[in-house]
Amino acid sequence: MNFSYWENKEFIGNPDVVIIGSGITGLSTAIHIRRGNPKIKVLVLERGMTPWGASSKNAGFACFGSLGEILDDLQTSSIDEIVGLIQDRKKGLEALVDLLGKNKFDFQQNGGFELFKTEQKEEFENCKARIEEFNSLLISEFGGEVFQVQSNSFGFKGVIGLIKNNFEAQIDTGKMMATYLTIAKQEGVKVLNGASVKDINDLGNGVGLLLEGGMTIKTGHAVICSNGFAKQFINDDVDPARAQVIITKPINDLKIKGTFHYDKGYYYFRNINDRILLGGGRNLDFNGERTDVMDCNSLILNQLNALLKEVILPNTPFEIDYSWAGIMGVGKAKTPIVKNLSNNLSCGVRLGGMGVALGTAVGKECADLYFQKSKV
């Protein structure tokens, strides 16, 4: 099947660069390439009606890791590596705000809180014992103490205490992606939705992208920014990881404000428009959630409902209004993969569930990598 003359002329053309994925990383890459050289023709291919993986499905946390999650990461990473990751996530969030403008996507720095239940007393004590150490390590980066102990003032049941992150924020995910798309189009980036790439062929002097339906697009360079869907193209440490999210119907007099984490960051919730958004639970079924199929997992959804009823809203009736799944890209390492795969192909993937924090900066890195390659 071939594109028509009109389709090729107005929608595809002869792109210099094709980016696979219209999420945060893909659009950031496109914008930074166009700003680096407006003569470069950039086309973004997106499989879904919206940025399909996680960028339009995430829970809207502008975070860089709760203390419990950070200490858990120390089992596989050094303290210097962990501090470096936190610094990268903070700088990535700053890059996001600088690019979009915080008033464009409802950026609110209300602080974050990590919950510890009664049976987690030992973990709570261990975290409290490391607060001073991590505050000292991070004070130069943040300009103030990041973590502090706080009592359970939100009425959570069975919670013995919280650790507050003074610098965590929340965003409106829909407004973020709508603003990203607006800026990309203002920069002259073309975005094609419903364009699922099935195969990538290195042609020596360029790249051929085979789409579902049999059509082919040729380009001088392609950048894989599909994150959770990258495994089909990249033989590297990146796997799909599905995440579940639910949102209640509006709740009267909802006092919960800020972002909240529980169980080493595997659960997270917040107040959005007087509703509770709650996500996570991937640790209940790691194997089942290692998939790029956008289905809801009933085991996890039942646990999310139980957490709402038993801990978060113990004395408040609620109804679930929305439930959905998103696909992240994770691996053994938590650092993103940004590299050339060949002379005509590169990637920016494995955001590790921190796409909001890292995606904009990773896109800038992908653009820089492309320009470095073009100078060779």
Which pLDDT tens digit goes with each residue over 27-83? 999 999 999 999 999 999 999 998 988 999 999 999 999 999 999 999 999 999 999
Q: Is residue 89 part of a domain?
A: no
Rounded Cα distance between 96 and 364, Å, is 11
pLDDT at residue 335, as a whole number? 93
Rounded Cα distance between 112 and 270, Å, is 9
Rounded Cα distance between 89 and 358, Å, is 6
| Residue written as token pair 């992908």 | 366
Q: Is residue 141 part of a domain?
A: yes
Q: How far is CA 344 from the centre of its chain?
A: 26
Answer yes or no: do 155 and 18 share one domain. Answer: no
Answer yes or no: do 190 and 326 share one domain. Answer: no
Q: How many domains does the chain have?
A: 2
Strand 61-62 and strand 169-170: pairing? antiparallel
Give the side-chain half-sphere CA count within 13 A for 6: 0
Q: Looking at residue 362, which CATH number applies to its domain?
A: 3.50.50.60
What average pLDDT does this structure show over 211-223?
A: 95
Q: What pTM was estimated for this model as a whole?
A: 0.96
pLDDT at residue 373, as a whole number? 80
Q: Looking at residue 278, which CATH number applies to its domain?
A: 3.30.9.10
What average pLDDT does this structure show over 295-323?
A: 96
What average pLDDT does this structure show over 207-234?
A: 96
Does pLDDT of 375 surpass 70? no
Answer yes or no: do 321 and 263 share one domain. Answer: yes
Q: Is residue 301 part of a domain?
A: yes
Answer yes or no: do 223 and 135 share one domain. Answer: no
Domain boundary among 311, 330, 349: 330
Rounded Cα distance between 342 and 35, Å, is 24
Q: Which domain holds residue 36?
A: 5-56+174-238+333-375
Answer yes or no: do 290 and 181 share one domain. Answer: no
Q: Is residue 66 part of a domain?
A: no
| Residue written as token pair 């959804």 | 301
Answer yes or no: do 167 and 265 share one domain. Answer: yes
Does pLDDT of 376 surpass 60? no
Rounded Cα distance between 59 and 9, Å, is 38
pLDDT at residue 101, as a whole number? 95
Answer yes or no: do 187 and 305 share one domain. Answer: no
Q: Is residue 293 part of a domain?
A: yes
The three-class DSSP label of residue 41 is coil
Answer yes or no: do 254 and 159 share one domain. Answer: yes
> Which are the contacts of 117, defined by CB distance < 8 A and separation ≥ 6?
158, 159, 160, 262, 311
List Cα–Cα distances, 119 to 34, 93, 98, 152, 159, in angstroms: 53, 34, 42, 15, 9
Answer yes or no: do 148 and 181 share one domain. Answer: no
Answer yes or no: do 276 and 147 share one domain. Answer: yes
What average pLDDT does this structure show over 292-302?
A: 95
What average pLDDT does this structure show over 341-347?
A: 96
List Cα–Cα distances, 158 to 112, 169, 258, 299, in angstroms: 19, 25, 19, 22
Q: Are 289 and 297 in contact (CB under 8 A)?
A: yes
> Which are the contacts of 212, defined by CB distance < 8 A and separation ≥ 6?
196, 197, 198
Q: Which helix (H) or strand (E) holds 251?
A: none
Helices then strands, each counted (H, E), the chain: 8, 19
* Each residue's pLDDT tens digit, 128-148: 999 999 999 999 999 999 999
CB atoms closer than 10 angstroms to residue 248: 23
DSSP 47: S
Q: Mean pLDDT for the chain?
A: 96
The three-class DSSP label of residue 254 is coil
The three-class DSSP label of residue 298 is helix
What average pLDDT does this structure show over 152-169?
A: 96
Q: Is residue 255 part of a domain?
A: yes
Rounded Cα distance between 359 and 278, Å, is 22
Q: Is residue 45 part of a domain?
A: yes
Q: Is residue 309 part of a domain?
A: yes
Answer yes or no: do 190 and 214 share one domain. Answer: yes
Answer yes or no: do 264 and 348 share one domain. Answer: no
Does pLDDT of 87 surpass 70? yes
